[in-house]
Amino acid sequence: MYNCFSDFVCVIDSGVGGLTVLRQLQCEFPRCNYVYLADSSHCPYGVKSPQEIQHRVETLIKYFYENGAQAVVIACNTASVFAETMRSKFNLAIFDVIAPTCKQVASVTRTKKVVLLATNTTVKSRAYQKELQQFGITVTAFPCSDFVPFVEKNAVDTAECSEVVASTLSTLPQCDADTVILGCTHFPILYKKISPYAKGKKIVECCCDFQPSIIYSSKSALQTMFLTTGVAEQANNASQWFGKTNFVHVDL
């Protein structure tokens, strides 16, 4: 058994969207090492079947598990649906983004009526609807999988992206809700495009409840490693908004 990820917090997503969660983690826990894995060769997850997504999540977590990881953050809502199943399969601390985001939403909404923007598969899974029901919150969901490729292609600042956002969210301003959940980790990158349709409503980005007590800060110099199952150059290009990434290809 290798032990190459024992000092790292492993963060996974279908692509570069999970970097929005990595950014939060780096701010909150700057004394941790991170390894970020973008499953770019299988992106987007949000239009795949639950079986396909579960298979990919299991493959990625198994890779980290076999290489000595102690903690994995699933920085993807579509994959977070399977967090509980993964916890039952691996003796590993696995953190997801859906339950913590719902807790956050419950503390923000006053009317208990919220809008969910998420991938088609996340919406269909009803994971958010079920979790929020416990707080007496009702959800109007917008399947927004069409947004994801614009982020992956670094094409957010295009007229085509604006058109897709406009047609998908045209009825959002009339929704009887006081909060909009960005229930996909890719969507904060589209914040400027989405926010005009959420006018007057609070916007909540997803978060996780990672506990650093599991990962001790490294003996070696702090570092963040970026891995992709796709083309490294494309991942670097799509994450310019994040800063320097230096993605390295990995076959998984």
Residues at the contact surface with ligand DGL, assessed by CB under 6 A: 13-15, 17, 43-46, 76-78, 119, 122, 145, 148, 184-186
Catalytic residue among 76, 144, 161, 208: 76
End-to-end CA distance of the chain: 17
Question: Could you tell me the smallest distance in angstroms from the CB atom of residue 78 to ligand DGL?
Answer: 4
Q: Is there a catalytic annotation at residue 184?
A: yes
- Give the DSSP letter of residue 158: S
Question: Could you tell me the smallest distance in angstroms from the CB atom of residue 238 to ligand DGL?
Answer: 12
**7 or 13: whose CB is closer to ligand DGL?**
13
**121 or 236: whose CB is closer to ligand DGL?**
121
Q: Is the dihedral of CA 229, 231, 232, 234 positive or negative?
A: negative
Catalytic residue among 102, 184, 206, 208: 184
Question: Could you tell me the smallest distance in angstroms from the CB atom of residue 111 to ligand DGL?
Answer: 25
Question: Could you tell me the smallest distance in angstroms from the CB atom of residue 18 to ligand DGL?
Answer: 6
Q: Is there a catalytic annotation at residue 175?
A: no
Q: Which residues contact 246 (CB under 8 A, 6 or more apart)?
A: 226, 236
Q: State phi, psi for 25 to the nearest 5 degrees.
A: -65, -45
**155 or 222: whose CB is closer to ligand DGL?**
155
Sheet strands (E) in 22-120? 33-38, 71-74, 93-95, 113-118
**70 or 168: whose CB is closer to ligand DGL?**
168
The full 3-state SS of 197-245, as one line of letters, equals HHCCCEEEECCCCCCHHHCCCCCCCCCEEEEECCCHHHHHHHCHHHCCC
Which residues are known catalytic residues?
76, 184
